[in-house]
Amino acid sequence: MDQIEFVERLRKYGIDRDMNNYRASLQSPVTKEDLDSIEGRFKKSIQSLSKEKQEYFLTYTKIVVENSVALILSLLDGSSNIGQVGGKFELYYDKDGQRDHINNKEGDDLMTLLYDEDEEDY
């Protein structure tokens, strides 16, 4: 797996699929048992919004999730830091003895790859 495939899979399985699951969950009927949990009460409040406002909320939530993932990727890229002094993060993918270096390679940073596809979405 190279850095492009890593970001594509992160997007597909870590962002898009989860956002689809959140969307389906928030749009499913609210049961009496749901109202005993914070998630159920939240779902009820979201469903009280117009469809347009629900879509704004979900779109904004996706942006927040992507920005959070991008922050982690920027740390791996070394384009941001969390107060570390010296050193760098290294991310490898090892399959059948083949070890591919995913971050800090020539080419686009992981964060840049994540945002490249987003330009079409907004």
pLDDT tens digits for range 36-85: 999 999 999 999 999 999 999 999 999 999 999 998 888 888 777 676 66
Please give the residue range of the domain that contains residue 100: 3-118
The whole-model pTM stands at 0.73
Write out pLDDT tens, residues 6-37: 899 999 998 999 999 999 999 999 999 989 99
* pLDDT surpassing 70 at residue 122: no
Residue type, 46: I
The pLDDT score that the predictor gives to residue 2 is 82
Domain count, the chain: 1
Phi, psi dihedrals of residue 50, rounded to the nearest 5°: -65, 160
Nearest by Cα to 2 from 115, 120, 108, 116: 108
Do 102 and 1 form a contact (C-beta atoms < 8 A)? Answer: yes
